[in-house]
């Protein structure tokens, strides 16, 4: 998607059309990237996107231009998305290498590692720390992408946990639902976690509770 924006920015399409396409690409690209936040927090050989690259994409996409050829704004979009495309291509190769390195591993060991990484991420402050793009009004969106992305990963390993220990499986699903409900209801109307420390604490408590259940599930496959 980033490369499509680079191509559009170098063509003759109107800046207004380019800006709309860039906004869609940014939303999709950053949502997918932040959903994989757990992987960048783990001890894996993955290179996170530099904060300045993420901010450059957000800044270029937020730029407004209604008169003239918008050459500066078009160049900023092209440069930001070109850098993002290159770095994300590297990330893809690094992720593929990590997957291939685990192909010969025991299923139990892989499951335990995955659950442990998810637990460590939710139990840390990483999902609520920068770059949150607060000055672009995206902080709660970034936080939601990170939390929901981690919960979505649970669906890949849930069948194995359910077969091994239905009680832990049920506990994780309950904790996941609590976290999603807290995110949806308690965070409504907030633009930043600092807006209401009490409500933010409820979200952190819900994340920590799910982290504890993931940690408990990880032990199933190490015994």
Say if residue 149 is exposed, middle or buried (CB neighbours under 10 Å; 0-12, 13-18, 19+).
Answer: buried
Span 13-49, pLDDT tens digits: 899 999 999 999 999 988 989 999 998 888 788 888 8
Span 134-185, pLDDT tens digits: 888 899 999 999 999 999 999 999 999 999 999 999 999 999 999 999 999 9
pLDDT interval class at 107 (50, 70, 90)? confident
Closest C-alpha to 2, from 44, 52, 60, 45:
60
What pLDDT does residue 49 have? 87
How far is 51 from 33, CA to CA, in rounded Å? Answer: 12
How far is 189 from 181, CA to CA, in rounded Å? Answer: 14
| Distant-in-sequence, close-in-space partners of 72: CB < 8 Å, separation ≥ 6 | none
How many domains in the chain? 2
Answer with the one of 85, 104, 123 that is the final residue of a domain.
104
At 157, which CATH number? 1.20.120
Q: Which structural domain, as residue segments, surrounds residue 51? A: 1-104
- Does 131 have pLDDT greater than 80? no
**161, 182: one domain:** yes
- Does 223 have pLDDT greater than 70? no
How far is 27 from 43, CA to CA, in rounded Å? Answer: 27
- Does 219 have pLDDT greater than 70? yes
Q: Which residue has the tokens 């939710």?
A: 122
**153, 213: one domain:** yes
Helix axes 139-164, 15-35, angle to 10 degrees: 40
**75, 117: one domain:** no
What pLDDT does residue 135 have? 85
Span 92-105, pLDDT tens digits: 899 899 888 877 76
More confident residue, 1 or 173: 173
How far is 30 from 36, CA to CA, in rounded Å? Answer: 10
Copy the structure tokens of residue 5: 């924006």
**141, 77: one domain:** no
**123, 203: one domain:** yes
Span 79-95, pLDDT tens digits: 999 998 898 889 889 98
On whether the pTM is more than 0.95, the answer is no
- Does 199 have pLDDT greater than 90? yes
Helices (H), the chain: 2-9, 15-35, 37-41, 51-62, 71-101, 107-122, 139-164, 166-181, 197-218
Q: Which residue has the tokens 């890949």?
A: 156
**148, 70: one domain:** no
The answer to whether the CB of 127 falls within 8 A of the CB of 146 is yes
**172, 187: one domain:** yes
The answer to whether the CB of 204 falls within 8 A of the CB of 91 is no
3-state DSSP assignment of residue 205: helix
């Amino acid at each position: 998607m980033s490369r499509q924006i680079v191509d559009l920015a170098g063509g003759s399409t109107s800046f207004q059309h380019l800006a709309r396409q860039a906004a869609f690409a940014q939303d999709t690209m950053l949502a997918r990237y932040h959903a994989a936040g757990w992987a960048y927090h783990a001890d894996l050989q993955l290179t996170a996107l530099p904060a300045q690259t993420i901010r450059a994409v957000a800044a270029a996409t937020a730029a407004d231009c209604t008169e003239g050829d918008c050459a500066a704004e078009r160049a900023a979009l092209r440069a930001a998305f070109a850098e993002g495309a290159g770095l994300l291509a590297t990330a893809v190769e690094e992720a593929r290498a990590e997957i291939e390195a685990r192909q010969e591993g025991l299923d139990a060991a892989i499951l335990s590692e995955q659950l442990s990484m998810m637990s460590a991420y939710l139990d840390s402050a990483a999902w609520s720390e920068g770059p949150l793009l607060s000055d672009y009004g995206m902080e709660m969106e970034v936080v939601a992408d990170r939390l929901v992305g981690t919960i979505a990963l649970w669906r890949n390993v849930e069948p194995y946990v359910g077969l091994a220990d239905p009680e832990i499986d049920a506990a994780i699903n309950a904790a996941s639902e609590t976290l999603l409900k807290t995110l949806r209801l308690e965070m409504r109307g907030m633009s930043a976690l600092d807006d209401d420390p009490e409500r933010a604490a409820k979200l952190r408590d819900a994340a920590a509770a799910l982290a504890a259940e993931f940690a408990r599930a990880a032990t199933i496959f190490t015994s």
